[in-house]
């Protein structure tokens, strides 16, 4: 079953810290009585036995401790996978996807990674770091942790990242070519990495890197709902409470979580698993 896992880490952020406090804030919005837990797909993701929660990791969130923190993330995800759970992690900057995928790669060789983001995060290194939140998908593709990488919502490609995308045969769906539902009809296991900044900052200002011209919440949900394949895990990253306005972005993250969970539970073929 889908299992929540909070990852309070933001030491690999390049511009602003903040996403380390995301897990608690998203959980608060998730648990708020302001809304029910029925996904638009007709699934009650709040029903007993539908979802579990592994709590938050305890991490140093320091430069000196980053190797140990990554090892801790990988191990926690590996343990959930061993129990046939489907990890859905909350929070952290985007660097967390690299250790998460290390654990997935041990279990599945044909994983397709679907990455929602304004940014391709394909830098070979960024400001002297190879584990920056600007680099995880370069590491993932170098180590062949996913068979395919499909990026959607991208709107910040520069020359270096275009070259990187070509080198790793990344399938990029730029924001300007949306909607692109057909590009998400994937066979086999799928992992979804959802960077909150794929959304237009008008809808989700609580992020570190405002990049206007992004998805509406509706566009993001429509693309999530159109996906095929079996979603085996997901992360929601880059929510930065320090930049939020009245918790509105936490509410959006909780809504994305609800629709993602509904889709996971319903299954790619429309069968309840
Ligand atoms: Mn990102
Ligand atoms: Mn981003």
The alpha carbon of 139 is separated from its chain's Cα centroid by a whole number of angstroms, namely 16
Q: Which pLDDT does position 269 carry in this prediction?
A: 40
Read off the pLDDT band of 273 (50, 70, 90).
Answer: very low
Q: How far is the CA of 229 from the centre of ligand 1 (A)?
A: 23
Q: What are the residues whose beta carbon lies below 5 Å from ligand 2 (ion)?
A: 117-119, 195, 197
Burial call 32-48: b when 16+ CB within 10 Å, e when fewer: eeeeebebebebebeee
Give per-residue pLDDT as tens, 177-193: 999 999 999 989 999 99
Give per-residue pLDDT as tens, 27-48: 999 999 999 999 999 999 999 9
Domain ranges of the chain: 32-40+85-266
Give per-residue pLDDT as tens, 93-116: 999 999 999 999 999 889 999 999
Question: Percentage of residues in the chain with pLDDT exceeding 90?
Answer: 96
Q: How far is the CA of 47 from the centre of ligand 2 (A)?
A: 32
Q: Which ligand is nearest to the CA of 156?
A: 2
Q: How far apart are CA 22 and CA 240, in angstroms?
A: 6
Rg (CA), the chain: 17
Quote the pTM value: 0.97
Q: How far apart are CA 86 and CA 84, in angstroms?
A: 7
- Nearest residue to 103 (alpha-carbon basis) of 83, 119, 123: 83
Q: Selecting from 3.40.50.2300, 2.40.110.10, 3.40.800.10, 3.40.50.970, what CATH number does the domain 32-40+85-266 have?
A: 3.40.800.10
Q: How far apart are CA 179 and CA 171, in angstroms?
A: 15
């Amino acid at each position: 079953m889908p299992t929540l896992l909070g990852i309070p880490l933001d030491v690999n952020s390049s511009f602003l810290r903040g996403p380390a406090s995301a897990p608690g804030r998203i959980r608060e919005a998730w648990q708020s009585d302001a809304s029910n837990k029925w996904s638009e797909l007709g699934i009650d993701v709040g029903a007993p036995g539908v979802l579990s929660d592994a709590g938050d990791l305890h991490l140093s969130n320091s430069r000196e401790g980053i190797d140990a923190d990554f090892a801790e993330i990988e191990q926690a995800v590996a343990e959930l996978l061993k129990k046939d759970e489907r990890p859905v992690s909350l929070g952290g900057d985007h660097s967390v996807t690299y250790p998460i995928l290390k654990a997935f790669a041990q279990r599945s060789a044909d994983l397709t990674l679907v990455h929602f983001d304004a940014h391709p995060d394909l830098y070979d290194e960024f400001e002297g770091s190879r584990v920056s939140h600007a680099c995880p998908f370069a590491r993932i593709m170098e180590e062949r942790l996913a068979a395919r990488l499909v990026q959607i919502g991208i709107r910040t490609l520069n020359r270096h990242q275009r070259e990187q995308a070509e080198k790793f045969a990344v399938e990029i769906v730029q924001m300007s070519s949306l909607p692109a539902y057909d590009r998400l009809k994937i066979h086999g296991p799928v992992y979804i990495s959802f960077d909150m900044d794929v959304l237009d900052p008008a809808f989700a200002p609580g992020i570190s890197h405002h990049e206007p011209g992004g998805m509406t919440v509706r566009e993001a949900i429509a693309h999530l709902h159109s996906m095929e394949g079996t979603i085996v895990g997901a992360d929601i990253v880059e929510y930065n409470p320090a930049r939020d306005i009245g918790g509105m972005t936490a509410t959006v993250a909780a809504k994305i979580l609800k629709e993602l969970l509904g889709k996971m539970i319903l299954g790619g073929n429309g069968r309840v698993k």
